[in-house]
Structure 1
Amino acid sequence: MQLNDNKRISVGLVGLGRLGRQHAENLAFRIPHCTLTAVCSVKEEEVEAAKRDLGVPYGYTDYEEMLRNNELDAIFIASPSGFHCKQIEQALAAGFHVFSEKPLGLYIEEALRVQEAVIRHPNQVFMLGFMRRYDRSYAYAKQQIEAGAIGEPVLVRCYGLDPAQAMPSFLQFAKSNYSGGLFLDMAIHDLDLARWYLGAEAETVWAIGGSHRYPELEQLEDAETGAALVQFEGKKMGIFVASRNCAHGYHIETEIIGTHGSLRIGTIPEKNQVALMDDRGIVRECASGFLERFEQAYVDEVIEFIRCIREDRKPEVTVADGVQSTILGYACKQSFETGQLVAVHHRK
Structure 2
Amino acid sequence: MKQVKVGIVGLGRLGRQHAENLAFRIPGCELAAVCSVIESEVEEVQQQWNIPYGYTSYEEMLENKELDAIFIASPSGFHCDQIKKALAAGFHVFSEKPLGLYLEEALEVQEAVNNHPDQVFMLGFMRRYDRSYMAAKEAIDRGEIGEPFMIRCYGLDPASKMDGFLQFARANYSGGLFLDMSIHDFDLARWYLGAEAKETWAIGGAYARPEFDEINDAETGAAMVRFENNAMGIFVAGRNCAHGYHIETEIIGTKGSLRIGTVPEKNQVVIMKEVGVIQECFDGFLERFEQAYQKEAEEFINCILEQRKPEVTVEDGVKSTELGYACKQSYESKELVKLNEFIAVD
Mapped to 2, the partners of 1:79 and 1:245 lie a distance apart of 24
SS in 2 for 1:186: helix
CA shift in 2, pair 1:346/1:304, >3 Å: farther
Q: Does 1:328 align with 2:342?
A: no
CA shift in 2, pair 1:346/1:311, >3 Å: farther
One-letter code of the match for 1:208? I
One-letter code of the match for 2:256? G
**How is 1:156-235 mapped onto 2 (pairs within 5 angstroms)?**
156-235=151-230
**How is 1:16-95 mapped onto 2 (pairs within 5 angstroms)?**
16-95=11-90
Specify the alignment match of 1:284 in structure 2: 279
Mapped to 2, the partners of 1:55 and 1:100 lie a distance apart of 24
Q: Does 1:122 align with 2:117?
A: yes
4+ long deviations beyond 6 Å: none
Mapped to 2, the partners of 1:314 and 1:256 lie a distance apart of 28
Mapped to 1, the partners of 2:197 and 2:56 lie a distance apart of 40
Q: How far apart are residue 54 of structure 1 and its match? A: 2.0
RMSD: 1.0
- Structure 1 gaps of 5+ residues are 1-5
Specify the alignment match of 1:14 in structure 2: 9
Q: Does 1:303 align with 2:316?
A: no
Contact 1:324 1:346 in 2 (8 A): no
TM-score computed with the length of structure 2 as normaliser: 0.98
SS in 2 for 1:27: helix
Q: How far apart are residue 74 of structure 1 and its match? A: 0.2
Q: How far apart are residue 346 of structure 1 and its match? A: 8.6
One-letter code of the match for 2:165? F
SS in 1 for 2:300: helix
- Structure 2 gaps of 5+ residues are none
SS in 1 for 2:229: helix
Determine what percentage of the aligned residue pairs are the same residue: 72
Specify the alignment match of 1:270 in structure 2: 265
TM-score computed with the length of structure 1 as normaliser: 0.97
One-letter code of the match for 2:204? G
- Higher mean displacement: 337-346 or 41-50: 337-346
One-letter code of the match for 1:249? G
Q: How far apart are residue 178 of structure 1 and its match? A: 2.5
CA displacement, residues 96-153 of structure 1 (integer Å, 9 cap, x when unaligned): 0000000111111111111111111111000000000000000000000001000111
Specify the alignment match of 1:240 in structure 2: 235
